[in-house]
Structure 1
Amino acid sequence: QNFVRHHWVHRRRQEGKCKQCGKGFQQKFSFHSKEIVAISCSWCKLAFHNKVTCFMLHHIEEPCSLGAHAAVIVPPTWIIKVKKPQNSLKTSTRRKKRTSFKRKASKRGNEENKGRPFVIKPISSPLMKPLLVFVNPKSGGNQGTKVLQMFMWYLNPRQVFDLSQEGPRDALELYRKVPNLRILACGGDGTVGWILSILDELQLSPPPPVAVLPLGTGNDLARTLNWGGGYTDEPVSKILCHVEDGTIVQLDRWNLQVERNPDLPQDELEDGARKLPLNVFNNYFSLGFDAHVTLEFHESREANPEKFNSRFRNKMFYAGAAFTDFLQRSSRDLSKHVKVVCDGTDLTPKIQELKFQCIVFLNIPRYCAGTMPWGNPGDHRDFEPQRHDDGYIEVIGFTMASLAALQVGGHGERLHQCREVTLLTYKSIPMQVDGEPCRLAPSLIRISLRNQANMVQKSKRRTSMPLLNDPHSIPDRLRIRVNRINLQEYEGLHYDKEKLREASIPLGIIVVRGDCDLETCRMYIDRLQEDLQSVTSTTQRVHYQDQESSFPRVLSVQRLSPRWCFLDATSADRFYRIDRSQEHLHFVTEISQDEIFILDPEMVMSQQVGTPPGMPDLVVEQASGISDRWNPAVRKRMLSDSGLGKISPHYEVPDKQKDASQTHTLQSPASSEDQALLQAVIAGDLLKFIECCKKGANLLIQGPDHCSLLHHAAKSGHGEIVKYILEHGPPELLDMTDSETGETALHKAACQRHRAVCQLLVDAGASLRKMDSKGKTPRDRAQQAGDPDLASYLESRQNYQMVSHEDLETAV
């Protein structure tokens, strides 16, 4: 039986709430603190306070359920330790005597013990889908290393493998007898192809299905299987759920057989490679312009690998190399040097007639980082829509014009859908196989179907929200408020849901169908934005009345950038981005019931100010008379049932302007109380400071060096005064910047290495990502000041849930 006991560990930091009392864990952020705050299980993640009233003795012997991901975790009971073979006394004596052979004997001994110190003995269960995770840390900049640590935290470390240390073969052989096995490949499309090739060689029966976490540059196979174009910040727990619930589909795989061109004599063969980098492809095989650009990228990366450490830089190099190659027209004569025969049909005359500079043999719909070169044939009777499991390969030709049109939704010239291809080349031509390029000498290449691999396709989940469990409970219409968040607030607060909600700016209200997905919802929001722009063309400011506050909030009137994306605010313990290519997989009810949050990376921050209660509100509502649950006295705009009809906006011009006295700016000390307050701050006299405040002194006066009182107190290390200002002063002071240096109070404290003051400011919510005029964050300032402990603290607070668990726990 899979009986597993809890593995209890002491933890100095713990998120969530105690299972016994339901209270949160008080975090100890003081430096070098050794105090234990919680006892938690490494498997199921149950946590208790480190108190006898919460963690009791009977918990030690209780069976462990392995938590929310029990179906994919390899239980520790499956792992059997292997005893090392004992050498005989005679052998060891002989080795001692023959010292001249000591080196050789040692080497032979290492080979004998090369195998792993454990074996896997699974216990079959229909409910289990054990997962094998392969991570390529070299993919996606530094993402791979972070992902590796997170999977080791959620799963059994024995089922997570680092491909930079060893290939996938040993791990697959180790788990070959595990039933219902699934594989997760974390890397680019090349990583997936590597794993599929090893599965072919091992001939596992049945072959385990492979899911993809895209960390590479193009990720076309991941896009095809709905895993998106790149990993952003989706929680690992959500990824594990998608892998477990994903649908198993088939993927065609194609052989590439290369021979010398029989039509050319030996002495006419040009220089070049005699074989392709891979003899099997899953995505595409191409020759001409795109392969030449890829070859230049590959050669440059081999020469200077340190310059190609991010996805963005890689794409920028591709763009530059493509432009240079376009000007040089290196592939303009491609059609004169190739012969293509598909299922007995010679396509060479058409290729020469249209003068193609690139020919692609495509297996999956996606190509070149997400474009769709086959397009939708529609009424074209000669061709069928493309599939990755139909046993046919699509042949497409490109001119320079059609290649450029790909980026704006165009497609290439459809040539054929076939099962076999014969390709003859008469000169050395750049080619690429699934992104691996080379310059191949004149050759005869045969393309034929090899087999079909099992893959895991990410599917729409209808069980992620209780509302969707019962089809009758899905409402016909949903009235949803749309809130907008900028990138700076998201990066600083996405682990704190409440603060991020408070920082969001209302965009309006939409009415959608209950079964609407996010792809459709995007159209509603875009239309809402267009109508909002027409409303604001004649009035400077539009406001929104919040139900939880008597003060209206400023409604966002800045136009949304094309790069905005949805945020999931409900299904995980934090906000995270949803890839645009996966919006059709998510229902709107999965991420919200009454409000949606969207992230606009290009949104410009402006200081928000309060507005008088008489300001008008702007709300989008359906015409069917659904009650307005947020504000009973709003000015309404009517929206048709479809949400895409013509909307007639109604608005009111404010009858009075904003009172200038509400804008918080620093003033020079005017009264005697202000002067006394200033002197108290300079002297660090807390009692005098409090006395001046009670007499009506203004905390928004200008202190020494033209900065605020909070700036000066933080810089001088007057912790009690800082604490008093944070508790009694206006919130604008917390992140107010120095007019000369652009520094916040946290910058000032970090520069002077005042740790206690830094902790006060961080606990109050000071921005850890705000930069001064020189582009430095508080963490950078602490590092420059020679305090690595303070810098480490600020960095850990910035990403406190990303800290590796090995540094935070000890076994009980």
Structure 2
Amino acid sequence: MLQQIEEPCSLGVHAAVVIPPTWILRARRPQNTLKASKKKKRASFKRKSSKKGPEEGRWRPFIIRPTPSPLMKPLLVFVNPKSGGNQGAKIIQSFLWYLNPRQVFDLSQGGPREALEMYRKVHNLRILACGGDGTVGWILSTLDQLRLKPPPPVAILPLGTGNDLARTLNWGGGYTDEPVSKILSHVEEGNVVQLDRWDLHAEPNPEAGPEDRDEGATDRLPLDVFNNYFSLGFDAHVTLEFHESRGWAGWAQECPQEEANPEKFNSRFRNKMFYAGTAFSDFLMGSSKDLAKHIRVVCDGTDLTPKIQDLKPQCVVFLNIPRYCAGTMPWGHPGEHHDFEPQRHDDGYLEVIGFTMTSLAALQVGGHGERLTQCREVVLTTSKAIPVQVDGEPCKLAASRIRIALRNQATMVQKAKRRSAAPLHSDQQPVPEQLRIQVSRVSMHDYEALHYDKEQLKEASVPLGTVVVPGDSDLELCRAHIERLQQEPDGAGAKSPTCQKLSPKWCFLDATTASRFYRIDRAQEHLNYVTEIAQDEIYILDPELLGASARPDLPTPTSPLPTSPCSPTPRNGQVFRAGEELIEAAKRNDFCKLQELHRAGGDLMHRDERSRTLLHHAVSTGSKDVVRYLLDHAPPEILDAVEENGETCLHQAAALGQRTICHYIVEAGASLMKTDQQGDTPRQRAEKAQDTELAAYLENRQHYQMIQREDQETAV
């Protein structure tokens, strides 16, 4: 390709966000010879003592000399490799491929300050923060310190656990598998909005007596500013227990501290399970039930203490954004309250909400807390040590007087909804009034195996029915039509080839805008039109869909054999042969054959000569579909059945590192305390296999089972 060496590079489809190589100049390291050092000794001394500080005088391998262009939106990408089950470490490679490597930064290598200083003179700069809400707060605090004018707007690629700020700005609740190219387009097209940021000033309460002091409490808050919320009581106690278990004191003002046990908490699912177990134990202890007796709240000069004492909340939240606790809406939806103004993240007001244990539980199913007030300033006084949290960073704060006031407004990027839906077939045609679209669903097994091959995945999909929706429908509206498919006995869905109903966890697949299928976050469905992800057929992913019967490479299951009471009873030899065929089907991962034999009367509890059940064999082959089928149709005894060496199927799955199958078996109710002949539990088998993530998950679930057992024994 020598003939192309002289051709100018167009920087590709993302040229508007790529830093051109011509902007980057290599900086020579200053020579440190003895002669030069003697001549410049005095000058060197003056430079060190200058007011610029150590960061300004530090040598950098390159400098930025931008050439401003009104069409460009240069992008800085900051990736926190520890966020979201270590997703950041994987995604940083993709950004290095699509962008100039000099504009992609690993936050674990010194933080964002140095990069922001280098690029501070770049016109129209944008920032992409890849991490959780704590990562975003870290970058915003650094921007405050540098006082960039104008401050660059910050977009978010959510990799953490809660991601409430990312949900508020339409970036979704977590990264799944959206192409990086698509993310870069969203950042470039996003709308610039403002976000209120609130100052926290805490000082010891002089009226608190010595008897109210707690040796484990601190006089300082973990952060002096918050973007999402500040809360005290039950939720802060649960978060504090979680952080103490992972050995992490939280994000400092400049950079995050190292985790003592990061390998135990590198999964979003496991983190949520730990939160659930801690919340359950806190509920039993009732540690937050007297919160109202020890706090005084004054909002804009109005004392809310009597109202709080009447409510007797176990948690009080001062909320800046609509989302809280991994996507819930504690203030409620805009149409539900008429005594207050609609909630906004840029109006200079905080929402104050009280939660009882009942309203906290209802929060997860669409409920809301007790709306107390909207205010610009809060003075909160506590009379004893109480757990508090600032944007998810908890501590046990000694009796204090806390003042909350507006600090400033940060500039953010909000993911935009496209203004008009593209027509189905031709750009010259108007959007039709109604669309008639075939709906097909895909199993997780097929998606994991074929999502890079669009044609094969389309062939593997199972038709679900047909929906008729308005031409300008977004995916939220389309979801409602799809969920009604199997509820209408006379509708289009009645002739669906599969009788298995949709699970609550299904999601849409984008089949048109990339070289492969990818999942669409449910929190982003209102941003996507039906015509943007489908042409004549719309595809959905159902993680609980069993089998892959629509795939051409698998045999089609035959009609089930008669199983009426009048059928002749099979002889012993026939029963033995049927059992052997079941074992062979499980070994070969032949889901259709296994289903056919079961319908013909096969015993799913059949064992081979080593006392291995069908579930043992299915785990050995790693067949998720067969495992799910056996868990749904076999007697519960199969979960804890042991083979000749004392292993259950969970022991086997843990030793093989099969995380998804372990999750299926644990959720079905398998015991985590059973030991094999060597005295190992499933968790210990995972540890021996050096799968720390799986071992931590099993340890967490084992702890939760023990709590449930103790609670049952106490009830008895």
TM-score interval (norm. to shorter): 0.7 to 0.9
Mapping for residues 45-124 of structure 1, pairs under 5 Å = 55=1, 57-90=2-35, 114-124=58-68
2-side partners of 1:464 and 1:775: how far apart?
46
2-side partners of 1:155 and 1:469: how far apart?
33
Q: Does 1:563 pair with 2:505?
A: yes
1-side partners of 2:88 and 2:530: how far apart?
30
2-side partners of 1:232 and 1:93: how far apart?
58
Match of 1:177 among 117, 121, 124: 121
Q: Is the 8 A contact 1:484 1:556 kept in 2?
A: no
Residues 589 and 285 of structure 1: CA distance in aligned 2, closer, same or farther (over 3 Å): same
> For 1:230, what is the secondary structure of its paired residue?
coil
2-side partners of 1:774 and 1:67: how far apart?
49
Mapping for residues 328-477 of structure 1, pairs under 5 Å = 328-376=285-333, 378=335, 380-462=337-419, 465=422, 473-477=430-434
2-side partners of 1:456 and 1:406: how far apart?
28
- 1:606, CA displacement in angstroms? 5.7
- 1:165, CA displacement in angstroms? 1.2
2-side partners of 1:384 and 1:63: how far apart?
55
- 1:467, CA displacement in angstroms? 5.5
Residues 588 and 292 of structure 1: CA distance in aligned 2, closer, same or farther (over 3 Å): same
Q: Does 1:281 pair with 2:235?
A: no
- 1:92, CA displacement in angstroms? 7.0
In the other structure, the counterpart of 1:214 is 158
TM-superposition CA deviations, 1:325-361 (whole Å, max 9, x none): 0111101111000000000100000111111111000
Q: Is the 8 A contact 2:78 2:106 kept in 1?
A: yes
> For 2:484, what is the secondary structure of its paired residue?
helix
The one-letter code matched in structure 2 to 1:523 is A
In the other structure, the counterpart of 1:578 is 520
Q: Is the 8 A contact 2:485 2:491 kept in 1?
A: no
2-side partners of 1:160 and 1:453: how far apart?
22
TM-superposition CA deviations, 1:675-695 (whole Å, max 9, x none): xxxxxxxxxxxxxxxxxxxxx
TM-superposition CA deviations, 1:198-218 (whole Å, max 9, x none): 000000000000001110010
Q: Does 1:524 pair with 2:524?
A: no
2-side partners of 1:256 and 1:357: how far apart?
22
Residues 286 and 742 of structure 1: CA distance in aligned 2, closer, same or farther (over 3 Å): closer
In the other structure, the counterpart of 2:531 is 589
In the other structure, the counterpart of 1:140 is 84
Q: Is the 8 A contact 1:507 1:557 kept in 2?
A: no
Structure 1 runs (4+) deviating above 6 angstroms are 110-113, 533-537, 705-708, 743-747, 776-780
> For 1:274, what is the secondary structure of its paired residue?
coil
The one-letter code matched in structure 2 to 1:579 is D
The one-letter code matched in structure 2 to 1:591 is I
- 1:382, CA displacement in angstroms? 2.5
In the other structure, the counterpart of 2:641 is none
- 1:308, CA displacement in angstroms? 1.1
- 1:396, CA displacement in angstroms? 0.4
Q: Does 1:226 pair with 2:183?
A: no
- 1:268, CA displacement in angstroms? 5.6
Q: Does 1:204 pair with 2:148?
A: yes
- 1:743, CA displacement in angstroms? 10
In the other structure, the counterpart of 1:260 is 204
Higher relative contact order (CA 8 A, sep 6+): 2
In the other structure, the counterpart of 2:44 is none
Residues 469 and 422 of structure 1: CA distance in aligned 2, closer, same or farther (over 3 Å): farther
2-side partners of 1:334 and 1:739: how far apart?
50
In the other structure, the counterpart of 2:244 is 299
Residues 88 and 606 of structure 1: CA distance in aligned 2, closer, same or farther (over 3 Å): closer
> For 1:515, what is the secondary structure of its paired residue?
coil
Q: Is the 8 A contact 1:495 1:573 kept in 2?
A: yes
- 1:488, CA displacement in angstroms? 0.4
2-side partners of 1:608 and 1:777: how far apart?
32
Structure 1: stretches of 5+ with no match in the other structure? 1-54, 95-109, 544-554, 611-656, 661-701, 712-737, 748-770, 781-812
In the other structure, the counterpart of 1:675 is none
- 1:534, CA displacement in angstroms? 8.3
Q: Is the 8 A contact 2:296 2:381 kept in 1?
A: yes
Mapping for residues 123-162 of structure 1, pairs under 5 Å = 123-162=67-106
- 1:83, CA displacement in angstroms? 1.5
1-side partners of 2:650 and 2:457: how far apart?
23
1-side partners of 2:113 and 2:425: how far apart?
42
Residues 468 and 181 of structure 1: CA distance in aligned 2, closer, same or farther (over 3 Å): farther
* Pairs aligned (count): 558
Residues 60 and 526 of structure 1: CA distance in aligned 2, closer, same or farther (over 3 Å): same
The one-letter code matched in structure 1 to 2:16 is A
> For 1:61, what is the secondary structure of its paired residue?
coil
TM-superposition CA deviations, 1:668-726 (whole Å, max 9, x none): xxxxxxxxxxxxxxxxxxxxxxxxxxxxxxxxxx99x9799x99xxxxxxxxxxxxxxx
Q: Is the 8 A contact 1:462 1:468 kept in 2?
A: no
Residues 62 and 777 of structure 1: CA distance in aligned 2, closer, same or farther (over 3 Å): farther
> For 1:299, what is the secondary structure of its paired residue?
helix
The one-letter code matched in structure 1 to 2:223 is L
Residues 226 and 259 of structure 1: CA distance in aligned 2, closer, same or farther (over 3 Å): same
The one-letter code matched in structure 1 to 2:465 is G
Q: TM-score, normalised by structure 2?
A: 0.73
Q: Is the 8 A contact 1:706 1:739 kept in 2?
A: no
Residues 124 and 435 of structure 1: CA distance in aligned 2, closer, same or farther (over 3 Å): same
In the other structure, the counterpart of 1:50 is none
Residues 90 and 475 of structure 1: CA distance in aligned 2, closer, same or farther (over 3 Å): same
Mapping for residues 482-493 of structure 1, pairs under 5 Å = 482-493=439-450
> For 1:68, what is the secondary structure of its paired residue?
coil
1-side partners of 2:476 and 2:368: how far apart?
22
Residues 280 and 188 of structure 1: CA distance in aligned 2, closer, same or farther (over 3 Å): same
The one-letter code matched in structure 2 to 1:155 is L
> For 1:67, what is the secondary structure of its paired residue?
coil
The one-letter code matched in structure 2 to 1:117 is P
In the other structure, the counterpart of 2:108 is 164
1-side partners of 2:372 and 2:466: how far apart?
48
2-side partners of 1:413 and 1:190: how far apart?
27
Larger % of helix: which?
Answer: 2
In the other structure, the counterpart of 1:601 is 543
Question: Which of the pair has more CA radius of gyration?
Answer: 1
1-side partners of 2:533 and 2:402: how far apart?
49
Q: Is the 8 A contact 2:465 2:493 kept in 1?
A: no
- RMSD of aligned residue pairs (Cα, Å): 3.4
2-side partners of 1:441 and 1:376: how far apart?
35
Q: Is the 8 A contact 1:481 1:596 kept in 2?
A: yes
